A and B are shown apart, each in its own frame.
Chain A
Amino acid sequence: MRARMMIVAVVAVGAMTAAASVAVTAQGQGRGAKPAAPSAPTPRRADGKPILGAVPGQPVGGWGAGVTTLPSGKLEEIPFQPWARAIYDLRQIDQFEPHTRCKASGVSRQFSTPYGTEFVEVPDLQRMYIMDNGGPNSYRIIYMDGRSFPQDIAPTNYGYSIGHWEGDTLVVETRGLNEKFWMDTRGTPHTAALKFTERFTRTDMDTLKYQATIDDPGTYTKPWTTTDFSLRWRAGDELFEYICQQYNQGPELMIGSQEGVDNTRFFVP
């Protein structure tokens, strides 16, 4: 049900975007008009590093949803431990994801909401923030100051993220993740042993390539890497107030429909 709602939402947003795009194209082109201009080049800072978020002096924007972690049609390539495959299969039937109950959901799950995601870079603090727009409406901190991971990290929903640049690619490793969320909308399981490495490359103004490597010996027999996903820039997208418990459009996924959802949990947000 949740997946279906998500798909409908994404398709609807996509359809509206496509329709708007067609309308703009029709207005601007007409017979014999030139094709749409290619995307602007990757925006960069004075030091040459790519800007992953909004460009100073230009309208703010955000990245649309585009990551599912598991490559479609390649499920058999994922080195699940047997229990993990069974849990994955069960989650295809029992799709009550923590995110639908307003639980902050880290790593790749941040890039799967229809409201999009915003990068906020603060070079003076040597940090980046990845803002969830919608859902739990929270944020992840990426430390860019060259620090090492602490010895003992109390597991959290977003974990402890450290980033560095490899050429034009931002590489972010996250550890200290708890088990209270799904890392994608499909229910790919993980344990607290997860080390999650993401690679972000803004190939032009409108495209952010995303790839992740999942290293979790508690869940998989060996590390594995996702295929490339692309996020599309949505100029004008701005963070807005979103109180998950109040604005959630799937309340039956939060408190139960009296039929399909068990609502006897101790804590309901």
Chain B
Amino acid sequence: MRMRSVRAFILLAAVMAFGLTAVAQEGYPLTGTWYGDYGTGAQKKDLTVVMKWDGRSVSGTVNPGATATPLKSAVMDITPGKPAPEGQNSTTGIPPIFKVHMEFDAPGGGGPVVFDGTIKNPVGGNRTIVGTFKRGSESGPFQLRRL
């Protein structure tokens, strides 16, 4: 119960601190507040990432609050798609693929944590990033949902 309260507080603090960023919905795909987790089972950890695009690069904060740490990097690698030919159903087009690479240093000197994933539904307000993380010899799945 206490852990839930702490998580809720951290999330609330993140949303309050970055409120304007959090409501952005349709611009640069990484902009906004993302919430999710990484790892499996008992090792699963909550993760909040707040990202902002300045037109050239992404900056951000991981887990805003007492254990906040800056985002070292967040970049997108886009594989172009192909719109449907004129006159054909638009859904027959090939959508571009938005891959994401993120890194930050784990609080407490735990070394870098590296995330590689793909944005699902990048033009939707409810977009997600799903992929795998690596921290030293540890690795596993992660997922983030845009708030």
A-side residues, CB < 8 A to B, are: 1, 3, 81-83, 85-87, 89-96, 98, 154-155, 178-182, 187, 189-193, 217-219, 260, 262, 264-266
Contact = CB atoms under 8 A, between A and B. Distances in A.
Contacts of A190: 27
Contact of B90 (A93, A179, A191, A262): A93
B88 to A, nearest CB: 11
Interface string B122-135: 11111000000000
Given A3-B90, A83-B29, A86-B98, 7 more contacts: A86-B80, A86-B96, A89-B83, A92-B84, A98-B25, A180-B26, A262-B126
B53 interface: yes
B126 A264 contact: yes
18 contacts: A83-B78, A86-B81, A89-B96, A91-B123, A93-B83, A95-B90, A154-B20, A179-B31, A180-B24, A187-B123, A191-B27, A191-B31, A191-B53, A192-B27, A193-B55, A218-B28, A260-B91, A262-B124
Tell me the dominant secondary structure on chain A's binding face: loop
A218 B80 contact: no
A191 B95 contact: no
Contacts of B54: 218
Interface in B58-90: 76, 78, 80-84, 90
Contacts of A82: 78
Interface of B: 20, 23-29, 31, 53-55, 76, 78, 80-84, 90-91, 93, 95-96, 98, 121-126
A269 B100 CA distance: 31
A265 B125 contact: yes
A260 B90 CA distance: 12
Contacts of B90: 1, 3, 92-93, 95
A218 B58 CA distance: 11
A181 B122 contact: no
